[in-house]
Chain A
C-alpha cells in the first residue's frame, strides 16, 4: 500500500493540472488571429490593408477604457469578443459606457461582425470600422504585406 502513495500523489497532481488546463482556455486571441487583415464591411469585404493588431495598437487599444477579450464560443479560436468599458460623466453623474466588438476570422481576413454598445454610442459596423481606421491612417501605420507593394489598394487605402 505504501508503495502506491507516491504514484497516487502524482495522479492527483497531474489530474488537477489537466482539469485546470481544460477549464482555463486562452484569455486573449493569438498573434495568428490579430495578424490577420481587418476586412471592411462593404459588399466584397475588401481588406483595409491593416492587420487587426495594427488597428488596435494605433487606436491605443481605445485609450483609458478597460479592455477584456473573451471567447463567445467555447473552444472557437476564430471568434473573439472585445469589450471596452469606461466611466463617463453622464447627465446625472458618473455612468458606465461599454462597447462590444465581435471579430471573426473568415479565410485570411478578420471581420468585425457585430457591435453592441451603450445607448448613444454608434453600433453600425461600417461606421465603427471607419472610425477605427482614422488612427492607422493618421499615423501612417505599417500595412499588411499585400498592401506594401506599390499600387496596392484596399478599403480607404491608400489614405487620402
Chain B
C-alpha cells in the first residue's frame, strides 16, 4: 500500500488536534476553578492574571456597608491584573467557596460557572503604616457568574460578572492568621 503524503498526514493531524482542543469537560472546568481559587488564596497576581483570557472583562456590582446604591465597575484584563497586583499587599486573607454550579454549553466549548464566595480581609480606611494598621475587617459575600472556555488550548476565564456585598466587622471579633 502506498503511504499517504506527508502534507496530507500533517493536515489530518492538525485537524484532529484543532477539533479535540475546542471542547472542555466538566472535570477540566471544576479543576480550573479550584486552581483559580488557590491562586486567589495565594494572592499571587501573575497566576491570577494568567487564568484570564486576552479579552477577559469583569463587571463588578458592589454594595458597600451602609450604602443603598451599588457601585458599578467594569474592568479589562489589563486593569484587573493591575488590581490583582495590589492584592499581594494583604497579609490576612481568607477565601471560602460556599457553592459552585457548572453549566456546560451544548457545544461544550464553554461553561458558565456560578460560584458563591465569602472573603475576609482587612478594611483599610486610611493609608496604612503597617499591614496591621486597621480597625475593622471586611467580609465580602459575592456571587460570581463566569464564562469559562479554551484559549490557545488552555482553560481560561472569558468573562465574569460579580455581585458583592460588604459587611464590616470589628477587628477583635475575627481571628484571621497572617499568611
Binding site for B on A (CB under 8 A): 1-2, 4-5, 8-9, 64, 66, 68, 85-87, 90-96
A66 with B71: in contact, given A1-B5, A2-B5, A92-B64 (CB under 8 Å)?
A: no
Give Cα distance in the complex from A86 to B82, angstroms.
Answer: 9
A1 contact set on B, CB distance < 8 A: 5
- Closest beta carbon of chain A to B144's beta carbon, Å: 16
Does B20 make an interface contact (CB < 8 A)? no
Binding site for A on B (CB under 8 A): 5-7, 10, 60, 62-64, 67, 69-76, 78-79, 82-83, 166
Partner among B7, B67, B75 whose Cβ is within 8 Å of the Cβ of A5: B7
Interface of A is mostly: mixed
Give Cα distance in the complex from A144 to B8, angstroms.
Answer: 60
Contact in complex: B7, A85 (CB < 8 Å) = no
When C-beta atoms are compared, the residue in chain A nearest to B74 turns out to be: A96
Contact in complex: A90, B71 (CB < 8 Å) = yes
Output the residue of A4, A68, A94 with the most chain B CB within 10 A: A94
- Closest beta carbon of chain B to A22's beta carbon, Å: 19
B67 contact set on A, CB distance < 8 A: 92-93
- Closest beta carbon of chain A to B55's beta carbon, Å: 13
Contact in complex: A66, B7 (CB < 8 Å) = no
Give Cα distance in the complex from A66 to B62, angstroms.
Answer: 22
Some 15 contacts from A to B, beta carbons below 8 A apart, are A5-B5, A8-B7, A9-B6, A9-B10, A64-B82, A85-B76, A87-B73, A90-B71, A92-B64, A93-B166, A94-B60, A94-B71, A94-B73, A95-B72, A96-B75
Give Cα distance in the complex from A66 to B69, angstroms.
Answer: 27
